[in-house]
Chains A and B, each alone.
Chain A
Amino acid sequence: MATGLTVAVASGKGGTGKTTVSTNLALAAAAAGDEVAYADCDVEEPNGHLFLKPRIDRRRKVYVPVPRVDPEKCTACGTCAEICRFGAIAVVAGQVMTFESMCHGCGGCLLACPVQAIEESGREIGVVEEGSSDGVAFTHGRLNVGEAMSPPLIREVRYAANGPAIIDAPPGTSCPVITAVRGADFVLLVTDPTPFGLHDLRLTLDMVRELGLPHAVVVNRSVPGNRLARDFCLDLGVSLLAEIPDDRRVAAAYSRGETAFGTVPGYREHFAGLWKAVKREAGWR
């Protein structure tokens, strides 16, 4: 049912402009008449809602399954502790101890228990909120403070934004990012034109290549005469789709929770052009 494109916006370094690019790109896609949703998968610190200002009309809690051991049936054989690769189960002095904060909810212990002494109960890790904003369907996740297990919540955000979407990924290259970008039609890699930005772009590039996902780069806060990012993309054979110019007015709009697309002259065109380039590069329309 591919009625549109799902684009993940990612970067290794934090603060390159993933949220700026993804919120503005979602508005550009909607303005172009394309069906689009915005899904904020940066569940540790979601902030897309500050710019899109959605009306939230659905909210539900997300749980990960954790083992509950029935002491009547348990023989303390230790099979569950052996199979748990997350070290969430220990067997001492003839009793099984579980550590919920370390459990990834894989269900392995439940399958491995030879006497069916384990059943699953839920541990709340956060919420998924859904709503809409000016023609853009909005979804984000909020991870509970102190919670380390974000991928199950990110999966729920992806699942809720079922259809063409702009996915605002968390920074980095580890499990949360992979969970956010996996299955996307295209990954847009945001970088700033600094050695720090490009160093982390290289890591992200390795990640999307490993995952086999089509991808290209957009430079944010581009400065005239700075060729760092352009040369980097040429060297590594990756497409550079657009350079969004650095402008104090964009920062000022950002600080007020306004989008550049909506308020700064010229940026509607920058992001409309980027959306067009993404569609062309992804081979869609």
Chain B
Amino acid sequence: MKTAVTAGGPGLESRLDPRFGRCSHFVVVDTGTGESRVIDNEVNLNASRGAGIQTAENLSRQGVEAVITGHCGPKAFRVLKAAGIKIYLAGEGTVAQVLEEFKKGLLEEAPGADVDGHWS
């Protein structure tokens, strides 16, 4: 499953960024093959508005199937859901650590937005 983790930097050792639309990078790992790549999200990090929507749209275009993040607002949630992307919420840790938790089935799928927009 192509899984994108919201990250504060471009690698597996970067910290999980709890923000979805305004994280600086996504580390995308195919949990089946172990292949990984990085999506630079700087354009949305600096967007004046609609960061969550644009970010979700972009992930959909990139063929991402699941997202691991700290929090997810209502607009981003709506787009991710429409795109069929599953959302998992994690606490603190590195990208590698939360991916490990995800593979062990320790992360729960979010049933809805867990924060209002512009929470951070």
Encode B66-102 as 1/0 by CB contact (under 8 A) with A.
0000000001001100111000000000000000000
Cβ of A99 within 8 Å of any chain B Cβ, yes or no, is: yes
B78 touches A97 (CB 8 A): yes
- In-complex Cβ contact of A90 among B47, B49, B79, B84 (8 A): B79
B60 touches A86 (CB 8 A): no
Give chain B's interface residue range (CB within 8 Å of chain A).
10 to 19
Chain B residues whose C-beta falls within 8 Å of the C-beta of A95 in the assembled complex: 82
Cβ of A88 within 8 Å of any chain B Cβ, yes or no, is: yes
A92 touches B79 (CB 8 A): yes
A-B pairs with beta carbons under 8 A, tally: 35
- In-complex Cβ contact of A93 among B47, B50, B60 (8 A): B60
- In-complex Cβ contact of B83 among A93, A99, A102 (8 A): A93
* Contact A97-B79, Cβ < 8 Å, known A90-B56, A91-B57, A92-B60: yes
Chain B residues whose C-beta falls within 8 Å of the C-beta of A86 in the assembled complex: 49-50
Chain A residues whose C-beta falls within 8 Å of the C-beta of B79 in the assembled complex: 90, 92, 97
Chain A residues whose C-beta falls within 8 Å of the C-beta of B83 in the assembled complex: 92-93
> CA–CA, A81 to B56, complex, Å?
13
A102 touches B49 (CB 8 A): yes
B56 touches A92 (CB 8 A): yes
- In-complex Cβ contact of B47 among A87, A88, A99 (8 A): A87
Chain A residues whose C-beta falls within 8 Å of the C-beta of B14 in the assembled complex: none
> What's the nearest-Cβ distance from chain A to residue B22, in Å?
13
Chain A residues whose C-beta falls within 8 Å of the C-beta of B82 in the assembled complex: 92-93, 95, 97
Chain A residues whose C-beta falls within 8 Å of the C-beta of B75 in the assembled complex: 99
Chain B residues whose C-beta falls within 8 Å of the C-beta of A81 in the assembled complex: 57
Which residues, 216 to 247 on A, are CB-close (under 8 Å) to B?
none
A87 touches B54 (CB 8 A): yes
Which residues, 98 to 117 on A, are CB-close (under 8 Å) to B?
99, 102
Known: A86-B50, A92-B83, A97-B82. 7 other contacts (CB 8 A): A87-B47, A90-B54, A92-B56, A92-B57, A97-B78, A99-B53, A102-B49
8 A-B pairs closest in CB distance: A87-B50, A92-B83, A92-B60, A90-B57, A93-B83, A92-B82, A90-B53, A90-B79
Chain A residues packing against B (C-beta within 8 Å): 81, 86-88, 90-93, 95, 97, 99, 102
A–B complex contacts, Cβ < 8 Å, 27 sampled? A81-B57, A86-B49, A86-B50, A87-B47, A87-B49, A87-B50, A87-B54, A88-B50, A90-B53, A90-B56, A90-B57, A90-B79, A91-B57, A92-B56, A92-B60, A92-B79, A92-B82, A92-B83, A93-B60, A93-B82, A93-B84, A97-B78, A97-B82, A99-B50, A99-B75, A102-B49, A102-B50
